[in-house]
Amino acid sequence: MKTLVHWRLELLKHLRGPLLGTRAKGTSSNKWLHRQQKDPLVKRAVVEQYRCRSAYKLIELDDKFRFLNKGAVVVDCGASPGAWSQVGAWSQVAAQRVTTTSTNTQGGMVVALDIQEIADLPGVLVMGGSDVTDPLVQERVRELLGRRGADVVMSDMAPNASGIREMDHQKIMQLAESALALSHSVLKEGGVFLCKLWQGPLANVFRSRLKANFSFTKECRLQSTRQSSSELFIYAEQYHST
């Protein structure tokens, strides 16, 4: 008898398009489905209605650093399918619901950016089809936030892995640089920057550069990260522009 988790995974396998990307059929797809079925965080995400297991990475980071505060303005880069933005909104970061036509100037705000489309989320201003690396997109975000600026800029962006370690490392570093560039233009004094990287020599250089504008930085390997993954997160707080 198929469980609710199995049925939902089957649905995601066939309807991944705008939410979870696409995956070729064949052996690799079967391995992915098998891994999803066995992953306890995937099952937990289904029960707790998060869009994917990555929600628990952000929850783990927030438990550690306590930066998702009520009333904060949060920019989520590479947000699709929306799990991190869900955590932000469900943590009462967004004090009121935000729509694409009206923004709350008193309470919190979560802005979700991704080059892929993102299904609407309560309490989140969704900007699907927006390439964070595009200067015009970054300008739109600046105009949207105005003088309020952002309390948190966070990035879970990652390129499609080619299997060539050095090339993939360079690509994710380029995405990290784009998120950092956005943070420099919208982050408030004292703000927080959070970014996913893959282990490699450029990650150390990137962290060293952060120290020029953040009083505290910390590299984190999470319990919720799969053992086979080389991902790590860099957390930086107490932003200062000079």
Q: How far is the CA of 207 from the CAs of 192, 196, 200, 212, in angstroms? A: 14, 11, 12, 10
Which of the 8 DSSP states describes residue 97? -
Give CA–CA dist 50/37, Å, rounded: 16
Q: What is the mean pLDDT of the chain?
A: 82
Instruction: Enumerate long-range contacts of 176-182, CB under 8 Å, 24 or more apart.
Output: 176/206, 177/206, 178/77, 178/132, 178/133, 179/77, 179/78, 179/132, 179/153, 179/155, 180/206, 180/210, 181/138, 182/75, 182/77, 182/132, 182/138, 182/141, 182/153
Q: What is the mean pLDDT of residues 50-56?
A: 92
Low-confidence winner among 63-72, 103-112, 123-132 (lowest mean pLDDT): 103-112
Active site residue 196: yes
Of 43, 196, 211, 218, which is the active-site residue?
A: 196
pLDDT value of residue 91: 75
What is the largest distance, in Å, between two alpha-carbon atoms of the chain?
A: 61
pLDDT for 204-231, tens place per residue? 899 999 999 999 999 999 887 877 888 9
CB 172 within 8 A of CB 198: yes
pLDDT for 145-171, tens place per residue? 999 999 999 999 999 888 888 999 999
pLDDT for 121-148, tens place per residue? 988 999 999 999 999 999 999 999 999 9
pLDDT value of residue 120: 95
pTM above 0.95, yes or no: no
Higher pLDDT, 26 or 137: 137
Q: What percent of the chain has pLDDT over 70?
A: 78
pLDDT-derived band at 31 (thresholds 50, 70, 90) equals low
